[in-house]
Structure 1
Amino acid sequence: MELNEEGPAHGAAMSVADALGARGEAHVWWWRTPEHTDPADLPLLDTEEFRRALSLPAERDAAAFVRSRAAARRALAGLFGLDPREIALGRSACPGCGDGSHGPPKLLVPALRLPLSLTRTAGCGIFAVGAGTSIGVDAEAVRPVRCSATTDADLTVPERAHLAALEPGPRRDAAFYRIWTRKEAVVKATGLGLSGVELGLLETHPARGGPVRVTHTHRGRTTAWTVEDLPLLDGVAVALARPAGPAAHGPVHRHGNR
């Protein structure tokens, strides 16, 4: 069903978006991904998403992909008071190369300028929407890391030193994924992805509990981001990046579905 941008439903959604922006808020939803595709999720996918799901060889991967796309629509529908079938998602052009196939997710219907970010890791998916011009969320299932992680070229010198000072085990594992999710949340928020910066230059200040300020430089332009860790699910590291400054410093509302 098409949503009339001039109708009352669109007006109500716009009011919600305006209130979110005025308060500088963000909303984050998370869910466990199923082993098998849920038929109830399929009607919420668009044609391209349906084709992509069919192309995934592993059923678990297809089920996780389908659930993530459906869950994002349900999240937005709940926020705006709409039917999930009224939500249309697309992609913005990559700010680095202009390619529309790998830019950040975009809300097409209702046509509101709200930044979105979606991520998946083993067993769960996470979706974020917020105030300001952009947002980035990343999640990684925490697992044992190799000893050579302390010399990884994608880490800064202070990050390597922080890891090297920790004994191998759960604390070092958690610290490594805190670093990694902070980095990925920032590059997702920029819309450039991993190709947009040398990760070894992106300092995440892992010794600090957060929120932390992280700067990102691309083609001579430096942007600043406020990054915080979100304790949402056991065994999963999650970081959220929002533009530094007052426009996006409101509370983060968390909506879990364990």
Structure 2
Amino acid sequence: MTPRRNTATSEVRIPEPALEAVDRIRETGETHIWWWPLGTRTDPADYAVLDDVERGRAQRFHAEADAAAFTATRANARRAVARLLGIDPAHVAFGRRVCPGCGDREHGPPAVSHPPVPLAVSLSRTAGAGTLALRAGTWVGVDVEALRPVEPATLADVVLTATESAHVLGLPPGPARDAAFHRAWTRKEAVVKAVGLGLLGMPLNTLDVHPDQDGPVRVTHRYREEETHWQVTDLTLGDRWAASVARPDTGPHGPVHLHAPA
């Protein structure tokens, strides 16, 4: 079923399955996460799903692997939203909300702009994987990072609070330390994306995300004189990536549904 357009008013009538899906997501407070592997070559089937603006962006990447990652992420995001709403991927479009910091639409948080349903989305990609988070309302943030050996001591002042640094650097060098660092990093990125300000808001090295605790954890973000509170949940995408999702700490907190690659 596809959206019906009233030719007199250009008002989009949202299909009943889509309205029912949105109502269910709002009532239960559930969050949906999709993830998929990313290759190094653009799949023509993915490219065909993109709109003209996205195709233009894909063509501006200098590296084929970067273009392929962007194309696959956008295409799979459209497919995921379409399946959830019971519509064709061609009838899904992404836009941006107003930036909560400056009021500009050019760099505000992403949203589903068509059909016009009240769903917040967040996209992230890293080496080998892309993700999409979706929930009812206006705020959600997801981040995924490829696990790799790092030297947290060189990044501690930039990324970690003093408490986090003591925990991470207190672990022996190796996989455990790397995992703790990436847990902190993805939790922070998920929160700043959910807030909608990115790094223009609270510096990462002042945002405590409690990497010593298993999630979900409650995280406080401060911007100017305002505090917001977020529930952050770690996601399991296999042993190659770290990932986290942040949603407002106000309920209802329904389940987090993790959709594996099709």
Report if the CA contact (8 A) 1:150-1:164 is conserved.
no
- Displacement of 1:98 in angstroms is 2.1
Match of 2:53 in 1: 48
Q: How does 1:99-118 map to 2 (within 5 A)?
A: 99-118=104-123
TM-score (structure 1 length as normaliser): 0.94
Percent identical among aligned pairs is 51
> In 2, distance between residues paired with 1:2 and 1:168?
54
- Displacement of 1:54 in angstroms is 0.5
Change in 2 beyond 3 A, CA 1:71/1:99: same
User: 124, 132, 135: which one pairs with 2:140?
Assistant: 135
What letter is aligned with 2:128?
Answer: G
Q: How does 1:165-176 map to 2 (within 5 A)?
A: 165-176=170-181
> In 2, distance between residues paired with 1:150 and 1:105?
28
What letter is aligned with 1:254?
Answer: L
- The question of 1:252 aligning with 2:261 is answered no
Deviations 1:37-66 (A, max 9, x none): 111112221222111110000000000100
- Displacement of 1:11 in angstroms is 2.5
Report if the CA contact (8 A) 1:224-1:244 is conserved.
yes
What SS class does the counterpart of residue 77 from structure 2 fall into?
Answer: helix
Match of 1:77 in 2: 82
Change in 2 beyond 3 A, CA 1:131/1:223: same
What SS class does the counterpart of residue 41 from structure 1 fall into?
Answer: helix
Q: Between Structure 1 and Structure 2, how many residues are aligned?
A: 257
> In 2, distance between residues paired with 1:257 and 1:206?
27
Change in 2 beyond 3 A, CA 1:157/1:35: same
Match of 2:189 in 1: 184
Report if the CA contact (8 A) 2:230-2:248 is conserved.
yes
- The question of 1:25 aligning with 2:53 is answered no
Change in 2 beyond 3 A, CA 1:16/1:151: closer
- Displacement of 1:230 in angstroms is 0.6
> In 2, distance between residues paired with 1:133 and 1:209?
26
Deviating 4+ runs (over 3 angstroms): 5-9
Change in 2 beyond 3 A, CA 1:147/1:107: closer
Report if the CA contact (8 A) 2:142-2:246 is conserved.
yes
- Displacement of 1:233 in angstroms is 2.5
Match of 1:4 in 2: 4
Report if the CA contact (8 A) 2:215-2:233 is conserved.
yes
What letter is aligned with 2:3?
Answer: L
What SS class does the counterpart of residue 40 from structure 1 fall into?
Answer: helix
Deviations 1:218-241 (A, max 9, x none): 111100000010112221000000
Unaligned residue ranges in structure 2 (runs of 5+): 6-10
> In 1, distance between residues paired with 2:261 and 2:233?
21
> In 2, distance between residues paired with 1:105 and 1:225?
18
Q: CA RMSD in A?
A: 1.8
Report if the CA contact (8 A) 2:2-2:87 is conserved.
no
Q: How does 1:53-72 map to 2 (within 5 A)?
A: 53-72=58-77
- Displacement of 1:130 in angstroms is 1.0
TM-score (structure 2 length as normaliser): 0.93
Deviations 1:169-218 (A, max 9, x none): 10000000000000000000011111211111100011100100000011
> In 2, distance between residues paired with 1:104 and 1:256?
24
What letter is aligned with 1:256?
Answer: A
Between 1:218-227 and 1:194-203, the stretch displaced more is 194-203
What letter is aligned with 2:228?
Answer: T
Change in 2 beyond 3 A, CA 1:126/1:96: same
Unaligned residue ranges in structure 1 (runs of 5+): none
Match of 2:237 in 1: 232
What SS class does the counterpart of residue 194 from structure 1 fall into?
Answer: helix
> In 2, distance between residues paired with 1:201 and 1:78?
39
